[in-house]
Amino acid sequence: VSPTLHELARAVAGEVRGDAARQLTGIATLAAATPEQLSFLTNPRYRAEAEGSRAGALLVGPGVEFAERNLLVAEDPYFALAQLLELYHPVERPAAGVDARAVVGPGCDIHPSATVGALAVIGPGSVVGEGVVVASHAVVGSGCRIGARTVLHPHAVLYAGTELGADCVVHAGAVLGSDGFGYATREGVHVKVPQVGRVVVEDGVEIGANTTVDRAMLDETRLGAGSKIDNLVQVGHNVRLGKGCIVVAQAGIAGSTRLGAYVVVAGQAGVAGHLTLGDGARVAAKSAVFQDVEAGQQVAGIPAGPAASWRRQQARLRQLEEMHQRLLRLERRSGAVPGEGER
């Protein structure tokens, strides 16, 4: 039987307004929800859509008012949504065991509770922890370590020596441990600098599809605990991310740069090499960072500067045509003859 609004509220420590006994069969978007389903309003820009929704109840934050609607009011409605989605959609772990069509090298230590899919490849001497899932077509190089409950999706690739903590997720096509981009140019030849370090990923990190994280030249490229990396992100060799960083799709971080804890790099932004971004620094989407960023600072632009200055500059830029006209008027008034090439 489906849970009642009362039961859902209890699960997320929220409060009910309206019919607490109403049963809800699932969660759906505002547009798709039926009267038997719960929907949610976590972003105020969808208020009008919420008004028109047929949903049987709405999950909302404190202070959100709807006349004649069943509401589940949660302190942090987006967090409550995460909890309720998990309640309605429990994750199914595949059956434990190594598929007969997987290729496992000698000297591996595979926990009996781990799952290794058909056609997965695990190189010699690797350690695969409790409850780990290595999906079909994932490739784990030699001497890798994979912590408990970590999931490698199909076509994820770990080069030799990569270390993943517990509770990580690596999406399809992500590549960890490919060579860093380093060459010494000598008489017109770009001579490869051997990349003999590795990649270390701490606990609870999620890495998006087709993202690439290069191994260190020496020592480590390291992604801090709980960091979340989106799709198609590039992380250069010897980069270090502190804990809880967020790097959004198609962003890039060049070699040897260090991010403190809880740094956010928004989509398509770039950070040059050998820089330091302090704890809690935030880089706006599409920006290019060419110098260090202080802790807590927000930067934007190409090259990136303080975000507030960038916004003011953008506003002035939109007045540039007008400034030019005013300058011309002043010149005419003052009798100045514009020089050649000035129109």
Query: For residue 338, how many other CB atoms are within 10 A of its CB?
Result: 11
Tokens in use for 210? 């087709």
Cβ 128 to a second copy, closest distance in Å? 17
Q: Look at residues 220, 165, 224 and name the one whose alpha carbon lies nearest to residue 197.
A: 220
Does the footprint of a second copy cover residue 183 (CB under 8 A)? yes
Which range in 15-23, 52-60, 63-71, 283-291 contacts a second copy by CB under 8 A? 283-291
**Rounded distance, CA 72 to CA 8, Å?**
8
Q: What 3-state class would DSSP assign to 258?
A: strand
Measured from the CB atom, the residue of 67 and 100 that comes closer to a second copy is 100
Residue 283 to residue 300: CA distance in whole angstroms: 6
Binder among 228, 278, 297, 307 for a second copy (CB under 8 A): 228
Separation CA 222–CA 184 (nearest Å) = 24
- Report in angstroms how near the CB of residue 282 gets to a second copy at its nearest: 13
Assess contact for 52 and 32: CB atoms under 8 A: no
From candidates 212, 221, 280, 299, binder to a second copy by CB under 8 A:
212
Alpha-carbon gap, residue 310 to 271, rounded angstroms = 17
**Which residue among 252, 257, 259, 277 contacts a second copy (CB under 8 A)?**
252
237 is catalytic: yes
Nearer to a second copy, 108 or 262 (CB): 262
Interacting residues with a second copy between 82 and 141 (CB under 8 A): 82, 85-86, 88-89, 91, 101, 103, 117-119, 121, 135-137, 139
Question: Looking at beta carbons only, is 97 or 267 nearer to a second copy?
Answer: 267
Residues facing 40 on adjacent strands:
59
- Give, as ranges, the residues between 293 and 312 that touch a second copy (CB under 8 A): 302-303, 305, 309, 312
Q: Of the two residues 67 and 188, which places its CB atom closer to a second copy in the complex?
A: 188
Answer whether 194's CB lies under 8 Å from 174's CB: no
User: Which of these segments, 3-11, 51-59, 126-134, 238-246, binds a second copy (CB under 8 A)?
Assistant: 238-246
Cβ neighbours of 159 (radius 10 Å) = 22
Position 154: which residue type? P
Cα separation, 336 vs 343, in Å, equals 13
Window 23-62: contact mask with a second copy (x via CB under 8 A): ----xxx-xx----------x-x-----------------
Minimum distance, C-beta of residue 67 to a second copy, in the bound complex (Å): 25
Query: Would you please indicate which residues are annotated as catalytic (active-site) residues?
Result: 237
